[in-house]
């Protein structure tokens, strides 16, 4: 291996928490081969973009980075640029002609090949490693983690659903789960290293299945919670079809499992859910919400919702607004639909809602949800909440930012507290996104 800057790498991560976790896996794989992580892109001889293809604007952002890197490559002939994750898996070798900056491509199942791809492209040429491997769970790779408070543990990868709008089944392939024993051993190491929060990750985390050992997600969560009794346990993302009563009872019965569930709904209209191929109606979704709330009354719920999917009429949109008013989610990720070539929707449905209408509907959804979040957050004023301190606040080094068990962000006076501390905070102010307060004994 050549010495000096050529050995150093920097990863830009786009997209979801799964991608953040994957960047930790890629970092560990490169470090194991003697590569060194740089503090900033300009110090690195190898620049990697770990990408997301889920929405058009995520792809646009990566495109922008690649254009900039093309400029850098003109000045620095030995700079190596790699693109990993969902975009190369989706666009494949076409990427090389679209973006001349790229030296190599690696998909979500081929991160193990990245160190050797780097070595090979040093000798010239462009390489793509884009095979699917439905057995790859990256078992045995201990991801590099930033910070020592919160850790992601990917427990399953891929998606067997076929939501009509979604590229994930095409980019990440079939579902496969990390063996139970391997999850538990990772959790033990995290406990021993002093982590205070563990988030179990998967595209459909609650379809986790270790058939050999007989563990479904409820059993896994139960075991993880027992293994790490002083650690906050979270999980994301859940699919409504896999919310079972046994899972909800496990969440309710362990103090350390956060009473917070992210449950994407996508639309409030059963007609749209049918067109989206979600596999459930809105009534079935609401039954799951009722089940969760009957067993965990103080649960906080969040969701994903798409405005302007193919064929969406004003009354479907109204049904989405009504759903937000009925459920009163704590927060939501809200998007307008962008067609993704190759998906069921792109192949079989017409993207017929004009862009200004999509954007207007999205804005109505955002305005309503912000109002609901603000109302819910205001109810916390005057109460004392338990907060895990995560980082310095963005505004001031005299304040820390942390989260409640319900996943609400809380900014509070630092005093003598450090990241990783669990403390009580009296809430004095609230917006639709953040609580503010001061520590109390």
Q: Are the beta carbons of 309 and 272 closer than 8 angstroms?
A: yes
- Residue 301 is a binding residue for ligand 5AD (CB under 6 A): no
- Residue 329 is a binding residue for ligand 5AD (CB under 6 A): no
- Residue 204 is a binding residue for ligand SF4 (CB under 6 A): yes
Distance CA 249, CA 232 (A): 17
Which among 426, 406, 402, 438 has a CA at the least distance from the CA of 196? Answer: 402
- Residue 161 is a binding residue for ligand SF4 (CB under 6 A): yes
The residue among 80 and 265 lying less far from ligand 5AD, judged by its C-beta, is 265
55 binds, among ligand SF4, ligand 5AD, none (CB under 5 to 8 A by kind): ligand 5AD
Q: Which of residues 223-262 bind ligand SF4 (CB under 6 A)?
A: 239
Nearest residue to the partner ligand 5AD, using Cβ: 304
Cis amide bond preceding 134, omega within 30: no
Count of residues binding ligand SF4 (CB under 6 A)? 9
- Residue 335 is a binding residue for ligand 5AD (CB under 6 A): yes
Residues 6+ apart with CB under 8 A from 353: 308, 309, 310, 311, 312, 337, 361
Residue span binding ligand SF4 (CB under 6 A) among the ranges 155-163, 345-353, 359-367, 398-406 = 155-163
Which three-class secondary structure state does DSSP give residue 90? helix
The residue among 26 and 265 lying less far from ligand SF4, judged by its C-beta, is 265
The crossing angle, in degrees rounded to 10, of helices 217-227 and 180-192 is 30
CB neighbour class for 1 (10 Å; exposed up to 12, middle 13-18, buried from 19): exposed
Distance CA 74, CA 76 (A): 6
Residue span binding ligand SF4 (CB under 6 A) among the ranges 103-111, 157-165, 284-292, 429-437 = 157-165
Count of residues binding ligand 5AD (CB under 6 A)? 12
We find the least distance from the C-beta atom of residue 234 to ligand SF4, in angstroms, to be 18
DSSP label at 111?
G
Q: Where on the chain is the footprint of ligand SF4 (CB under 6 A)? A: 159, 161, 163, 166, 168-169, 203-204, 239
Q: Where on the chain is the footprint of ligand 5AD (CB under 6 A)? A: 54-55, 165-166, 264, 266, 304, 306, 335, 337-338, 340
């Amino acid at each position: 291996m050549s010495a000096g800057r050529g050995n150093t790498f920097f990863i830009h991560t786009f997209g979801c928490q799964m991608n953040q976790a994957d960047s930790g896996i890629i970092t560990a794989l490169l470090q194991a081969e003697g590569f060194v992580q740089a503090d900033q892109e300009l110090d690195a001889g190898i620049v990697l973009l770990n990408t997301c293809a889920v929405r058009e604007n995520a792809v646009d952002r990566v495109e922008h980075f690649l254009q900039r890197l093309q400029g850098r490559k003109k000045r620095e002939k030995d700079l190596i640029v790699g693109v990993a994750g969902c975009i190369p898996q989706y666009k494949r070798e076409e990427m090389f002609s679209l973006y001349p900056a790229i030296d190599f491509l690696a998909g979500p199942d081929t991160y193990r090949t990245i160190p050797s791809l780097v070595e090979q492209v040093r000798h010239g040429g462009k390489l793509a490693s884009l095979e699917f491997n439905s057995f790859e769970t990256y078992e045995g790779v201990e991801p590099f983690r930033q910070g020592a408070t919160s850790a992601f543990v990917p427990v399953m990868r891929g998606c067997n659903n076929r939501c009509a709008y979604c590229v994930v089944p095409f980019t990440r392939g079939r579902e496969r789960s990390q063996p139970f024993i391997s999850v538990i051993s990772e959790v033990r190491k995290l406990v021993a290293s002093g982590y205070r929060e563990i988030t179990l990750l998967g595209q459909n985390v609650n379809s986790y299945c270790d058939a050999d050992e007989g563990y479904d997600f409820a059993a896994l969560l139960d075991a993880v919670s027992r293994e790490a009794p002083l650690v906050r346990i979270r999980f994301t993302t859940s699919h409504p079809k896999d919310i079972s009563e046994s899972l909800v009872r496990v969440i309710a019965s362990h103090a350390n499992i956060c009473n917070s569930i992210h449950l994407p709904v996508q639309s409030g209209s059963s007609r749209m859910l049918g067109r989206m191929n979600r596999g459930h109606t809105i009534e079935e979704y609401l039954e799951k919400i009722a089940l969760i709330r009957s067993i965990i009354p103080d649960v906080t719920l969040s969701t994903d919702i798409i405005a302007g999917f193919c064929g969406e009429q004003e009354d479907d949109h109204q049904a989405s607004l009504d759903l937000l008013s009925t459920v009163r989610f704590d927060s939501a990720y809200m998007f307008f639909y962008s067609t993704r070539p190759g998906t069921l929707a792109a192949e079989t449905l017409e993207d017929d809602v004009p862009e200004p209408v999509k954007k207007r509907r999205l804005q109505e959804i955002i305005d309503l949800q912000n109002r609901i979040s603000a109302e819910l957050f205001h109810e916390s004023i005057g109460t004392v909440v338990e907060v895990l301190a995560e980082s310095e606040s963005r505004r001031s080094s005299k304040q820390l930012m942390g989260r409640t068990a319900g996943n609400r962000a809380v900014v509070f006076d630092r005093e003598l507290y450090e990241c990783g501390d669990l403390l009580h905070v009296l809430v004095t102010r609230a917006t639709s996104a953040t609580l503010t307060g001061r520590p109390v004994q």
